[in-house]
Amino acid sequence: MSERPQPYRGRFAPSPTGPLHFGSLVAAVGSYLDARQQNGEWLVRMEDLDPPREVAGAGTLILKTLERFGFEWDGPVWFQSRRHERYIEVLETLQHNGLTYRCGCSRKQIAEQGRRMGLPYGVYPGTCRCAPASVQQKHAIRLLSEGQQVEFSDRLQGIIRQDVEREVGDFVLRRADGLFAYQLAVAVDDAEQRITDVVRGSDLLDSTPRQIALQRLLGYPTPDYLHLPVALNEQGQKLSKQTLAPALQDDDPLPALWQALHFLGQNPPAELLEGELESFWRWAISHWQATALPRKLGIPCSGVS
Ligand code: GLU
């Protein structure tokens, strides 16, 4: 086995759009166990980038739930809302290298132009590439994605390929309302926190090539990725605040933790439900096997949703 160049460092990066639910617990448990089993560090980063989508107090509630559930994170929690100056600097670097442009298109214009050009829904047709919006006009900043063909090997999902330019188009780095895009913030923070391993839900699999494209353009290393199956409700939708997933119960962590472990294919013994939180974690860390994870993008979890 070859030596890893750096010690393992993983992270859990919730968005404070509501309290933690079973779906987010699965990502927290998977990333935590994968890190701890390899004697790695595990960081928590609050992705509070988008105030209109956030719920007051949710960030504090999330941290409290993590603590009650027995997660122990390394170092202080990073808050993306405190990182704007750094994102501006990175954006300026990309701008100076001629890798961005101003886009004044509305969603409707993008959809209409895409339809005329026969592009799949959502792909940016490149309208402002050659004729960017003026500085005075309300505009987003997009990344020039020319030639960004990305291929990576996900530890669970296998080889993933995406031609970012054709399949996504030039994507937004800073929105017209001034907010930074998730793709930019996550690429910058994963690099600056020296994350070696990203373990998260498969709903973000499609975003990973955009993050890798940014890593390449910014000279950042690419971490290893493992995209876990996401928990689906009876209608086949991802558990989320939008699909009204219930909040976790802080005062009764063991049943949900046990279910999360079971969901992740780890075969926890029933006795863990009767014991202490410490013995649960001891068992879970020492028995974690990434090879036992179900290689699926989503799994129904009736009974927990
Ligand atoms: N903040 C994102 C979310 O809650 C996760 C980002 C990530 O893990 O890269 O969906």
Q: In the structure, what pLDDT confidence band is assigned to residue 5 with cuts at 50, 70 and 90? A: low
**269 C-alpha vs ligand 1 centroid, how far in Å?**
30
**48 C-alpha vs ligand 1 centroid, how far in Å?**
10
Residues 290, 58: contact at Cβ < 8 Å? Answer: no
Q: Is 299 helix (H, G, I), strand (E, B) or coil?
A: strand
Please report the domains of the chain, with CATH numbers, ordered by start residue. 9-81+193-300 (3.40.50.620), 84-183 (3.40.50.620)
Q: In the structure, what pLDDT confidence band is assigned to residue 305 with cuts at 50, 70 and 90? A: very low
pLDDT digits over 226-285, tens only? 999 999 988 889 988 778 788 999 999 999 999 999 999 999 999 999 999 999 999 999
* Burial of 137 (C-beta count, 10 Å sphere; 0-12/13-18/19+): exposed
pLDDT of residue 39 exceeding 50, the answer is yes
Separation between Cα atoms, residue 254 and residue 136, nearest integer Å: 55
pLDDT of residue 28 exceeding 90, the answer is yes
15 ligand 1 Cβ < 6 A: yes
pTM given for the model: 0.94
Which of 47, 62, 83, 227 most suits a substitution to test ligand 1, by most atoms within 8 Å of the C-beta? 47
pLDDT given at position 245:
83
Rounded to an integer, the average pLDDT of 9-22 is 96
| Higher-confidence position of 152 and 243 | 152
Separation between Cα atoms, residue 44 and residue 28, nearest integer Å: 9
Separation between Cα atoms, residue 170 and residue 172, nearest integer Å: 7
pLDDT of residue 187 exceeding 70, the answer is yes
Rounded to an integer, the average pLDDT of 288-298 is 95
Phi/psi for 282 (5° steps) reads -60, -45
**182 C-alpha vs ligand 1 centroid, how far in Å?**
8
* Lowest mean pLDDT, pick from 87-101, 169-183, 236-250: 236-250
